[in-house]
Amino acid sequence: MSEKPLPAGILPTDLPDLFFEDNSVGRMKKEVWDASDAEIDAILAEYGVPSPVEWGKPGAYIQTTTRWQVEQNRKKNDIVYIPVGCTELHGQHLPSASDTLYVSQICEGVRRYTARRGAAVNLALPPLNYGAHPYHHVGMPGTVIVREHVVREMMIDVMLGLWNDGFRKQLIVNNHGQLWVLESAVQEFQKRYQLPGIFRVIDWHRAVREFFRATDRGGRLDTNFVHADESETSLGLLLHPEMVDMAYAVDTEGKSYLPDGHFDKSVDPFGRPSRWSEGEGHFAIEIAATPEGVVGKSTHGAAEKAKRPLAAILKYLTLWNDHVLEAFPPGTTPPVEEVTLRTAEEMEPYLREPLSEGWKPVYGLPRIGQGTEV
């Protein structure tokens, strides 16, 4: 029997159940999927990965760059990436800042790469070193839980301040289980202020979920991504090995009360009816089932296993940068009257270069719409 031909617009892989779309994103992913190990190493080298975290490095973040240089950089590229993480127990072998470290080092790699091309993407220092958490994290030592409305309002205020400073294309890059809070922040921001721009949140692991496949489905990891496990330990061993102590790595398993198949794993690898965050009570909370702070097999971690997922997200975040700038060059936004209920005339002074003649700060803009504040 002959094989059924693939539909148009689909790119096959070496796995029968894995396909990529025939568009720029899918082609990029397929290129990374098909790349040799040497080619993956070359991609990481282009981005300077691994490199030490650059929170205190001059010129790496908006807040560590002289003001005149910030303004010059923005005229070449007015996109800002906002990495967000949390403080959360990641076992005895990893630091509690793991999520914030991973996402910062990824965004820093993209900044280095785009800087070498002459128009660096801008980075804002992580506003969430402490983040929101799902209920089942309650009580875990080393985990600091910030109330959801506080996180939401923090993100809205950060977005508004960056918009006022001319950064009207914003990507929140998330590395923690708080996606629903960040999504609501983006929606509330626009309901409250109705500003032209591009505002997006991305869970970077989900963006490249194909590269976290387990070996039983043709991937390179022994287990599916959960928490402080093989996947996250591998990321730590590659990005900041000096902060990892494998002598304390352990393997654990969570406790579920229902048959498998209803709720997905961390990066939604199976396309199950619900994401892990869409319920509580059907499994034991962490402090009861996995007080170690590990859910999975952290002893299986290895730096080599993190390389391909990192290459994929670095390439994707670069592609997003390029597509946004192609559509809206620096200093431009989507049409005011097509993305808000405001008029172009009303917004004209607020869209000028900050502190230029006739510019008005956004904080004086009359409020419209349905936004609510806590």
Mean pLDDT calculated for residue range 354-373:
90
Backbone angles phi, psi at 107, to 5 degrees: -60, -35
The reply to whether 224 falls in a domain is: yes
**pLDDT tens column, 250-305:** 999 999 999 999 999 999 999 999 999 999 999 999 999 999 999 999 999 999 99
For helices 303-327 and 230-239, the axis angle rounded to 10 degrees is 80
**Mean pLDDT, range 94-108, rounded to an integer:** 98
* CB contact burial 154-179 (16+ within 10 A = b; e otherwise): bbbebbbebbbbbbbbbbbbbbbbbb
The pLDDT > 90 percentage for the chain reads 95
**H helices, E strands: number in the chain:** 12, 6
The span from the CA of 155 to the CA of 82, in Å, is 10
Instruction: Summarize the confidence of residues 332-338 as an average pLDDT.
Output: 98
Phi and psi torsions of 274, nearest 5°: -130, 145
**Angle CA 346–323–225, to nearest 5:** 115
For residue 342, being part of any structural domain is answered with no
Residue 4 has what pLDDT?
72
**Domain with 80 in it:** 22-324
- How confident is the model at residue 218, as a pLDDT? 96
Q: Domain for residue 363, yes or no?
A: no
Q: Quote the pLDDT of residue 374.
A: 56
**Would the pLDDT of 132 be above 60?**
yes
Q: Is 178 within a domain?
A: yes
Count of structural domains, the chain: 1
The tens digit of pLDDT for each residue in 69-81 reads 999 999 999 999 9
E strand map for the chain: 10-12, 19-21, 79-84, 122-123, 169-174, 198-203
Q: What is the mean pLDDT of residues 225-248?
A: 98
Q: Give the integer Cα–Cα distance in Å for 184 and 256.
A: 28
Rg, Å, the chain Cα set: 21
Q: How confident is the model at residue 3, as a pLDDT?
A: 65
Burial class (CB in 10 A: 0-12, 13-18, 19+), 13: middle
Q: What is the pLDDT of residues 182-205, one digit of tens each?
A: 999 999 999 999 999 999 999 999
Does some domain include residue 306? yes
Asked if residue 243 is part of any domain, the answer here is: yes
Mean pLDDT, residues 141-157 taken together: 98
Residue type, 193: Y
Within a domain: 355: no
Instruction: List the CATH number of the domain containing 236.
Output: 3.40.50.10310
Can you give the pLDDT at residue 371?
66
Could you tell me if residue 352 is inside a domain?
no
Q: State how far the Cα of 71 lies from the Cα of 124, in Å rounded to an integer.
A: 14
Instruction: Give the pLDDT score at 336.
Output: 98
CB atoms within 10 A of CB 81: 27
pLDDT value of position 372: 62
Predicted confidence band at 347 (pLDDT cuts at 50, 70, 90)? Answer: very high
**Separation in Å, CA 174 to CA 47, 85, 179:** 19, 6, 7
pLDDT at 216: 95
Residue 1 has pLDDT above 60, yes or no: no
Phi-psi label, residue 317: left if phi above 0, alpha if psi -120 to 50, beta otherwise: alpha
Return the pLDDT at 6.
79
- Top-confidence residue, 353 or 5: 353
Banded model confidence at residue 373, pLDDT cuts 50, 70, 90: low
Distances (CA, A) of 313 to 47, 109, 155, 176: 11, 10, 23, 15
Instruction: Let me know the angle formed at the C-alpha of 182 by 181 and 187, rounded to the nearest 5 degrees.
Output: 100
Does 329 have pLDDT greater than 90? yes
| Per-residue pLDDT at 186 | 98
How far apart are alpha carbons 9 and 24 in whole angstroms? 11
